[in-house]
Structure 1
Amino acid sequence: MDQIHLMNVFVAVGEEEGFAAAARRLNLSPAAVTRAIAGLEEQLGVRLLLRTTRNVRLTEAGQRYLDDTRAILASIEEANEAAAGVNAAPKGNLSVTAPVLFGKKFVMPCIVRYLDEYPGVDVSALFLDRIVNLVDEGIDVAVRIGHLPDSSLKALRVGQVRRVLCAAPNYLARHGMPSHPADLQRHTVIAATGISPRVEWKFGAAEDPTLVRLRPRLTVSSNDAAIDAAIAGLGICRLLSYQVAEEVAAGRLRIILDEHEEAPWPVHLVHRESKFGSSKVRKFIDVLAEHLRGHQYLQ
């Protein structure tokens, strides 16, 4: 059997976790899918899948082969695009991930512009305040805020943000302006778990930080909710500068203790290592990088 066909069938079964679902996805009969997997396992001399009456699970060897096969098929697709010409119009599916508020404020305008310009592309946008694994979840481009670990991914720096403390002017008028991080222990604190999951906040230089242990009166999982509570005058919250930039510019919030801030956090666009440049990925990165590098809130 054709090796590429076998790989495509295996990826479909592994991702769908079932033969019937994979058959529907590939528009093949279940029998054809079963034969393809049996042929692939015989060819490799290893069990890739564990079949039960309810579902199909990958073996350890199967998981490794799935990861490698995804990368191989992606390289083939990208090589075909490169052979078709670097000026060929992008087409296919593009998947993008970013933190929730960052995606809403900065990425969505670029996605709309990109879709208007390239009608042959469909985009899936996953906006979550957690790190998404590009390989495991099939993501093409990700926005990462913070220092990057070593990996095989390619990264393009497009800006920076700061972790800032802010409060509403009416709160500060009632309770006073803190002059040192230790003063926060006498204030009402709002903790946004997406930014400051611990109740011990760090300030200053990385080599000699000031640590302040706090007891928040309000802890929320949504950065939007923390911003709303701070604007309402409840207390002091810690967020990323881009998340509150509009509120600060409008005077609804005020940044405090900025002289005690940590060093800025870099913002990168991250994508998977590839020998060939996919036109749909390359052109989207160009659009997004141009927008982010020129934005006043990311300087």
Structure 2
Amino acid sequence: MDKLTAMHTFARVAELGSLSAAARDLGLTQPAVSQQVAALEKLLGTLLLYRTTRSVTLTESGSRYYLQARQILAAVNETEETLRGLNQRLEGHLRIHAPTGLGQQYIARLALDFQQRHPDIVIELLLDDRVADVISEGIDVALRLGELRTAGTVARRLGTLQRVLAAAPGYLARQGAPQTLAELAERPYIRYSGRGDGAGLTLLGPRGAEMLTVRPVFLANNTFTLIQAIEAGLGIGGVQLPLIRRQLTAKTLVRVLPDYYFPPMAVHAVYPAARFIPGKVRAWVEYLAAALADIL
């Protein structure tokens, strides 16, 4: 048994959650993948996977071994890149996670361009608004908004995201634009449903931070759905500025109370801490940092 090959096979099974999915990814048969994992378990003297007919899950030993194996494989890849002079020719699997809004509007396009520049890289782009665990989920780089809490990771600050209040011109023509926070509190409000602060809102303005209670009439856990609700004239909402620049230019949306804005939200690239950071990860983060400087 080639221990390093078996370790790589096991890591892909752990990341994809299925023997058959790993087999397709690696260009092997499912029995070959199963045999490699079984041989690795026999060598280690412990069960790494719980197997069912449709999926696999990591045992406690398997979880610990996966985290260590991932670091070892990354170190091996980094060493090979250095010795073979492949820093300019990147290759391998790059798993990226990003929030839905920025992900759909900007990161998807950037990932496509990055892959075209480095055709030997296989990119897997995951878009959703949860805080993904980069270590347990095998994510190479996650774009993270706001506060950072994940241990065992490295974070590089990419910029600051500004959020503003906006409404449709038709809504403002019917209801008039609010002139104070007190008036805003009386208006129908559109907001993200994943927030845990109820109807409370904090805005920064001429007098510093001020809190108010809004009256939500429409909530959704998808940024573009919220923008559609605002454009439809349902009420006023807070939106990430880069996501509505086109609408502001076309005047299908208008800023409300422009002297007020939400607390700035830091944007970071987060990736697992390791002695050797793979060249593909370094290259993607550098590319992302340069691109987002013109977007945020």
Pair in the same fold by TM > 0.5 = yes
Instruction: Say if 2:256 is the partner of 1:256.
Output: yes
1:94-173 aligned at under 5 Å gives the runs: 94-149=94-149, 151-173=151-173
Say if 1:75 and 1:253 are closer, same or farther in 2 by CA, change over 3 A.
same
Quote the residue 2:193 is aligned against. 193
Say which is worse superposed, 24-33 or 175-184, in terms of deviation.
24-33
Query: CA offsets, 1:105-130, max 9 Å, x none?
Result: 22223222222222212211112122
1:222-261 aligned at under 5 Å gives the runs: 222-261=222-261
Query: CA offsets, 1:165-184, max 9 Å, x none?
Result: 11112212322222332322
State how far apart, in whole Å, the 2-side matches of 1:284 and 1:204 are.
34
Quote the residue 2:61 is aligned against. 61
Say if 1:38 and 1:151 are closer, same or farther in 2 by CA, change over 3 A.
closer
Compute the TM-score of the two structures, normalised by the length of structure 1: 0.83
State how far apart, in whole Å, the 2-side matches of 1:18 and 1:289 are.
34
State how far apart, in whole Å, the 2-side matches of 1:12 and 1:86 are.
23
- Aligned partner of 1:32: which letter? Q
Please say if residues 75 and 277 of structure 2, whose CA atoms lie closer than 8 Å, have aligned partners that are also in contact.
no
Quote the residue 1:293 is aligned against. 293
Say if 1:173 and 1:74 are closer, same or farther in 2 by CA, change over 3 A.
same
SS of residue in 2 equivalent to 1:217: strand
Instruction: Say if 2:43 is the partner of 1:40.
Output: yes
Compute the TM-score of the two structures, normalised by the length of structure 2: 0.83
Quote the residue 1:275 is aligned against. 275
Structure 1 residue 90, shift from structure 2 partner: 0.8
Say if 1:223 and 1:170 are closer, same or farther in 2 by CA, change over 3 A.
same
State how far apart, in whole Å, the 2-side matches of 1:278 and 1:65 are.
20
Say if 1:173 and 1:132 are closer, same or farther in 2 by CA, change over 3 A.
same
Say if 1:91 and 1:145 are closer, same or farther in 2 by CA, change over 3 A.
same
Structure 1 residue 86, shift from structure 2 partner: 5.1
Please say if residues 9 and 36 of structure 1, whose CA atoms lie closer than 8 Å, have aligned partners that are also in contact.
no
SS of residue in 1 equivalent to 2:142: strand
- Aligned partner of 2:210: which letter? T
Quote the residue 2:77 is aligned against. 77
State how far apart, in whole Å, the 2-side matches of 1:277 and 1:202 are.
38
Q: Give ranges in structure 2 of 5+ residues lacking alignment.
A: none
Say if 1:174 and 1:71 are closer, same or farther in 2 by CA, change over 3 A.
same
Please say if residues 186 and 215 of structure 2, whose CA atoms lie closer than 8 Å, have aligned partners that are also in contact.
no
Please say if residues 186 and 214 of structure 2, whose CA atoms lie closer than 8 Å, have aligned partners that are also in contact.
no
Say which is worse superposed, 186-195 or 15-24, in terms of deviation.
15-24
State how far apart, in whole Å, the 1-side matches of 2:53 and 2:250 are.
60
Query: CA offsets, 1:137-195, max 9 Å, x none?
Result: 22222211223236332222222112221111221232222233232232111223256
Say if 1:243 and 1:35 are closer, same or farther in 2 by CA, change over 3 A.
closer
Q: Give ranges in structure 1 of 5+ residues lacking alignment.
A: none
| Residues paired across the two proteins, number | 291
Say which is worse superposed, 25-34 or 230-239, in terms of deviation.
25-34
Please say if residues 192 and 239 of structure 1, whose CA atoms lie closer than 8 Å, have aligned partners that are also in contact.
no
State how far apart, in whole Å, the 1-side matches of 2:290 and 2:76 are.
28
Say which is worse superposed, 193-202 or 276-285, in terms of deviation.
193-202
Q: Alignment RMSD, CA only? A: 3.0
Say if 1:253 and 1:4 are closer, same or farther in 2 by CA, change over 3 A.
same
Say if 1:178 and 1:286 are closer, same or farther in 2 by CA, change over 3 A.
same
Please say if residues 6 and 40 of structure 1, whose CA atoms lie closer than 8 Å, have aligned partners that are also in contact.
no
Say if 1:116 and 1:226 are closer, same or farther in 2 by CA, change over 3 A.
same
Say if 1:182 and 1:257 are closer, same or farther in 2 by CA, change over 3 A.
same
